[in-house]
């Protein structure tokens, strides 16, 4: 294990702990003992098989939205609109599932839905990437703004074409069990989507670090000028990166709709995009690291829900935990930079002395 990686693990763990400690302070305002609350949280999420499985249910979409941000980040592009691409994916998944569920056998329908979701998210991403490549439009402005457009689209469809047969609430009819993603562990909600998201994370790792395209993407991210001189078509890379990034976030919508909700409702997982950014930062945008960081955020989210149920702690405590963990992790990059600098200096001194 090299010293840089050791720093990363150790300092990140410390940052996460400090983030949780600091967010614990707000519990004092509720008259609760933070240590007791955290102990209860750990106990409640580890005591029961169903609840432990819930952690991984929450983890699955986070891995994908986080990959969406992290992948673009490798090309030095900011896709902060994963939330919108997630909505687009969910919308396509639910409408194509509703349309195909009576016409095709389950597995084939699922494959088609999967591909359509990829296509839709990819196109949505392509638009952002193309605007950046062709018109130098700031990608994070466009991606951020397109989230609100996607949300409006979703609300419109839920109120009109996709409105449930009863017509009571702005939500769709439930999907047929034939197009649900299979359950992995009996009597829990853990579904195949979790395995799928891990496989995709590994796939993205291979793509980024073992293929020529991945190499080009990272070169563009690391040094755009060098990329140009090496004859890499920077604009093409930008569009491709955003296509993949958008498709990843849209897939999160697919596995949430077909794996967990089995329908589409309003106010659907509103924090999944932003949490993805935090996770990518925690993992240094590394696809394999993202899996583990997602599990941490999944555990925090399930823990937050449990605290609400057992102790009446407001659900906003989850956001406080996630936000302060993110801030400490970002600040810890500074500490790591300093450690690295000091190590370099020491190396230099040794060389000079010898």
Tell me which residues touch another protein (CB under 8 A).
26, 29-30, 78, 80, 131, 135-138, 140-142, 144-149, 151-153, 155-156, 159-160, 271, 274-275, 277-278, 281, 314, 316-324, 326-327, 330-331, 333-334, 337
Nearer of residues 59 and 143 to another protein, judged by Cβ: 143
Distance in Å, CB of 23 to another protein, minimum: 8
SS3 249: helix
Angle of helix 272-282 relative to helix 49-74, nearest 10 degrees?
70
Nearer of residues 30 and 115 to another protein, judged by Cβ: 30
Nearer of residues 121 and 259 to another protein, judged by Cβ: 121
Distance in Å, CB of 266 to another protein, minimum: 12
Q: What share of the chain is helix, strand, coil (3-state, %, to 5)?
A: 80, 0, 20
Distance in Å, CB of 131 to another protein, minimum: 5
Nearer of residues 106 and 271 to another protein, judged by Cβ: 271
Query: Which CA distances in Å does 84 have to 114, 120, 124, 266, 267?
Result: 18, 12, 9, 14, 12
Please return the burial class of 35, using the count of CB atoms within 10 Å of its CB with bins 0-12, 13-18 and 19+.
exposed
Distance in Å, CB of 303 to another protein, minimum: 14
Ramachandran quadrant class, 183 (left: phi over 0; alpha: psi -120 to 50; beta: rest): beta
Distance in Å, CB of 138 to another protein, minimum: 6
Nearer of residues 95 and 258 to another protein, judged by Cβ: 95
In sequence order, the β-bridge partners of residue 191 are 183
Distance in Å, CB of 326 to another protein, minimum: 4
Distance in Å, CB of 320 to another protein, minimum: 4
Count the residues in the chain: 354
**Degrees, nearest 5: CA angle 140-20-314:** 85
- Residue 174 DSSP code: P
Distance in Å, CB of 34 to another protein, minimum: 13
Nearer of residues 114 and 268 to another protein, judged by Cβ: 268
What is the Cβ-side half-sphere exposure of residue 322, based on CA atoms within 13 angstroms? 29
Distance in Å, CB of 319 to another protein, minimum: 3
Contacts of 86 (CB under 8 A, 6+ apart): 61, 65, 249, 250, 252, 253, 256, 269, 272, 273
Nearer of residues 149 and 195 to another protein, judged by Cβ: 149
Nearer of residues 60 and 326 to another protein, judged by Cβ: 326
Nearer of residues 70 and 214 to another protein, judged by Cβ: 70
Query: Which CA distances in Å does 5 have to 8, 165, 189, 209, 340?
Result: 5, 55, 35, 17, 11
Radius of gyration (C-alpha) of the chain in whole angstroms: 22
Contact assessment for residue 329 and residue 283, using Cβ atoms and an 8 Å cutoff: no
């Amino acid at each position: 294990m090299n010293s840089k990686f050791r720093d990363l693990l150790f300092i990140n763990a410390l940052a996460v702990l400090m983030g949780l400690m600091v967010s614990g302070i707000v519990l004092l305002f509720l008259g609760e003992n933070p240590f007791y609350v955290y102990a209860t949280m750990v106990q409640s999420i580890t005591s029961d098989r169903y609840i432990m499985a819930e952690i991984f249910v929450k983890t699955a979409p986070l891995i994908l939205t986080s990959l969406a941000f992290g992948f673009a980040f490798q090309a030095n592009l900011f896709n902060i609109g994963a939330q919108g691409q997630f909505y687009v994916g969910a919308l396509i998944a639910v409408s194509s599932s509703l349309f195909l569920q009576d016409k095709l056998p389950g597995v084939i329908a699922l494959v088609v839905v999967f591909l359509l979701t990829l296509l839709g998210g990819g196109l949505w991403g392509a638009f952002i990437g193309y605007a950046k490549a062709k018109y130098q439009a700031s990608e994070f402005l466009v991606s951020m703004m397109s989230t609100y457009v996607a949300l409006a689209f979703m609300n419109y469809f839920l109120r009109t074409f996709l409105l449930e047969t009863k017509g009571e609430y702005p939500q769709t009819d439930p999907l047929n069990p034939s197009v649900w993603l299979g359950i992995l562990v009996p009597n829990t909600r853990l579904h195949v989507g979790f395995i799928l998201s891990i496989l995709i994370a590994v796939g993205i790792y291979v793509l980024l670090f073992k293929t020529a395209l991945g190499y080009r993407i990272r070169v563009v991210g690391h040094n755009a000028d060098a990329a140009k001189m090496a004859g890499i078509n920077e604009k093409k890379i930008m569009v491709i990166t955003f296509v993949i990034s958008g498709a990843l976030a849209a897939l999160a919508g697919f596995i949430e709709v077909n794996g967990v909700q089995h329908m589409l409702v309003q106010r659907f997982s509103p924090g999944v995009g932003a949490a993805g950014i935090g996770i990518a930062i925690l993992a240094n945008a590394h696809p394999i690291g993202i899996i583990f960081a997602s599990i941490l955020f999944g555990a925090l989210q399930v823990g937050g829900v449990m605290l609400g149920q057992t102790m009446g702690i407001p659900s906003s405590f989850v956001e406080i935990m996630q936000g302060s963990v993110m801030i400490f992790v970002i600040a810890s990059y500074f500490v790591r930079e300093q450690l690295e600098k000091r190590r370099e200096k020491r190396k230099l001194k040794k060389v000079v002395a010898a």
